[in-house]
Amino acid sequence: MSKPHYDLEHHVKKATGIGDPQCFKGEAGDPRFKVGDKVKIRDLPDVFYTRTQAYTRGCEATVVRLVYETPPAEDEAWDNTENVEWMYSLLFKQKDLWPEYADAFSQDTLETEIPEHWLEPA
């Protein structure tokens, strides 16, 4: 069996005994946003893979937690683990995501994790 052209063993060795994404702790630098900040989800192209849901793009949210540090999914899919960034847990109002959402449920929210490079100040 031939070995793949990329080195998956590097990531496996790095995470062994620590777990993924904990093995990237301390590599992302200072977070750009803090809890309570209002952010807007950028509308970037996704060529192959992303963890940023299409329905969140262009919407505003509030940072509720810095979750962990990890390479962007777009990079990690190609075994590039050099560009580590923060993942944020964001709180959206359902009505902001889906304008036709029933007024009777206008206080409903959705929380999801989105990587830092998809965010900009609101």
Structural domain boundaries of the chain? 8-121
What pLDDT is attached to residue 120? 98
Structure-block tokens of residue 27: 């590599």
Residue 74 DSSP symbol: H
Q: What is the residue type of 90? A: L
Band of residue 74 on the pLDDT scale cut at 50, 70, 90: confident
Q: What is the residue type of 58? A: G
Q: How far apart are CA 86 and CA 38, in angstroms?
A: 16
Residue 39 predicted with pLDDT over 60: yes
Give me the percent of the chain exceeding a pLDDT of 90.
59
Give me the percent of the chain exceeding a pLDDT of 70.
89
Residue 79 predicted with pLDDT over 80: no
Output phi, psi for 92, to 5 deg.
-110, 150
Q: What is the mean pLDDT of residues 14-31?
A: 84
Determine how many CB atoms are found less than 10 A away from the CB of residue 61: 26
**SS3 (DSSP) at 56:** helix
Cβ proximity of 23 and 10 under 8 Å? no
Residue range 8-121, CATH number:
2.30.30.50
Band of residue 76 on the pLDDT scale cut at 50, 70, 90: confident
Structure-block tokens of residue 21: 């994404």
Q: Does the bond joining 21 to the residue before it have cis omega, within 30 degrees of 0?
A: yes
What pLDDT is attached to residue 3? 53
Tokens 């060795």 -> residue: 13
Produce one character per residue of 14-40: b if its CB has 16 or more CB atoms within 10 Å, e if not: eeeeeeebebbeeebeebbbeeebebb
